[in-house]
Amino acid sequence: MKTQPIGSSALLSTRLAYGCMRLPTGKDRDSRSEAAAAVMSAFEAGFTLFDHADIYGHGGCEQVFGDILKETSSIRREAYLIATKCGIRFADDPPGAPHRYDFSKKHIIWSCEQSLKRLSVETIDIYQLHRPDLLMNPDEVAEAFSSLKQAGKVRFFGVSNFSPSFTACLQSSLDEPLVVNQVEIHPGRLDCFYDGTLDQCIAREMTPLSWSPLGGGWLGSGGKVPDLHPRRDCLIEIQQTLDQLSRRYEVTRTVLALAWLLKHPSGIIPIIGSCNPDHIRESAAATEVKMGREDWYSILNSARGAPLP
């Protein structure tokens, strides 16, 4: 699979990442076998960047991934990158507390140390703040990042679901650049193309990581638009455009939808979240598609649901 740099860092990643949010976390043999099959299929397809968060499976997804890699001696630690996130706290943690976000220095450092234990690694390659904490003190976050960096626990830092202004606010207190912003990007969610997020990524050499690049499945091969979706007609038109073009490119709809993201000059890395080994392998073909500008705009026009001005 083709590779690209991660932001302005020294990290090199494949053009697709594998998302571990849906890994089965059960302790029974079937769950562990399904999780191992998904992770190993991603490695076999060439993926080198693996996306996590401390809340996925309440820590279980990091744990099962760490267990799988501990049991797989043939895969060296330097052969893959781990990205994980912190900052979301569920209700009743501690008892009586509301669901909230927490970028306090204490919580960031504690969360990182717990992720390191579950993942069974000494260093996280990219550590991200998951969703904007409106009580964020940028200087306090900078202290937490500096402590983790100096301790060798994190190599680089990033954010997730941050607006351009929130990103700039945090960056103003940091000594080194943020290298990623993980946001929802796909033909059914065009916000990042118009709100300055992708412009900022280009200007600051940050890599956009696209979560849910297939819109939760409806953009993928065989995916269906929910009957009651408020934009159902527009989403069906997007599917029809993708289907028409995928026949010309001789690829699946999944592959073409991912290739549309890969075409953007910001260097979007779609995060593939399927646990189906066939779907994981299918997605890797997107890095070989050379999409023309005219076809890219045909998909955009369908996604807008209105002509360009």
User: Do 13 and 48 meet the contact criterion of CB atoms below 8 Å apart?
Assistant: yes
Q: For residues 178-205, b (16+ Cβ closer than 10 Å) or e, as one string? A: bbbbbbebbbbbeebbeebbbebbeebb
Active site residue 56: yes
The angle subtended at Cα 285 by Cα 226 and Cα 18, nearest 5°, is 70
CA distances (Å), origin 139, targets 31, 103, 127: 42, 11, 17
Which of 56, 101, 127, 249 is labelled catalytic?
Answer: 56
Distance CA 53, CA 60 (A): 10
User: Do 184 and 165 meet the contact criterion of CB atoms below 8 Å apart?
Assistant: no
Torsion sign across C-alpha atoms 167, 170, 175, 179: negative
Query: E-assigned strands of 163-222?
Result: 180-184, 207-211
Query: E-assigned strands of the chain?
Result: 3-5, 12-14, 17-19, 49-51, 81-86, 88-89, 100-101, 124-129, 154-160, 180-184, 207-211, 269-272
Residues annotated as part of the active site: 56
